[in-house]
Amino acid sequence: MSVPPPPPAGFEQAPTIDENLWSALCHALALATGFIGVPGFVAPLVILFTQAKKSTRVRINAVEALNFQLNLLCIQVIFIAAIFAAIIDLNELSATKLVSVIAILLVVGIALGLYTLVMPIIAAVRTSNGENYRYPLTLRLVK
């Protein structure tokens, strides 16, 4: 029995079903674990440690999901600090400024919540179809 020839130079092999599954799970589990009180970066980190040596593609997606979740964590900490700063200055703000601060925090909070929900879903769908997904507006903290 002969072994099939390797693909020509410049062509990548199609990802396997397992690679698609693990890549999609990197993104989907990051979102799902947040609903049960586990920080979103835990699932991609576990997948990175357990599957990275088996597949470069899974490693790429686990690192991308991990970076996205770490960015969200930093943004959430900054957002919570802004809320506390607004609460501390509550007595010193005029009614107009107070309404403006509340409106800004509300809009930013809703936008952040939607971004947190929608982006991992998009990433999971795209990676399950064999693509490597890169989150927009994300600092690559983990290489």
Q: How far apart are CA 103 and CA 125, in angstroms?
A: 33
What is the C-alpha separation between 11 and 32, in angstroms, rounded? 35
**φ, ψ dihedrals at 142, nearest 5°:** -105, 130
At 141, the amino acid letter reads: L
DSSP 18-41: HHHHHHHHHHHHHHHHHHTT--TT
Mean pLDDT of 20-26: 94
pLDDT digits (tens, 9 = 90+) for 106-135: 999 999 999 999 999 999 999 999 998 999
Nearest CA to 120 among 27, 22, 24? 27
Of 59, 24, 29, 50, whose CA–CA distance to 41 is shortest?
A: 29
Are the CB atoms for 142 and 63 separated by under 8 Å? yes
Percent of the chain having pLDDT more than 90? 58
**Which pLDDT score is estimated for 1?**
54
CB 41 within 8 A of CB 35: no
Q: Band of the pLDDT at 11, cuts 50, 70, 90?
A: low
Q: Is the pTM of this model over 0.85?
A: no
Contact 30, 44 (CB under 8 A): yes
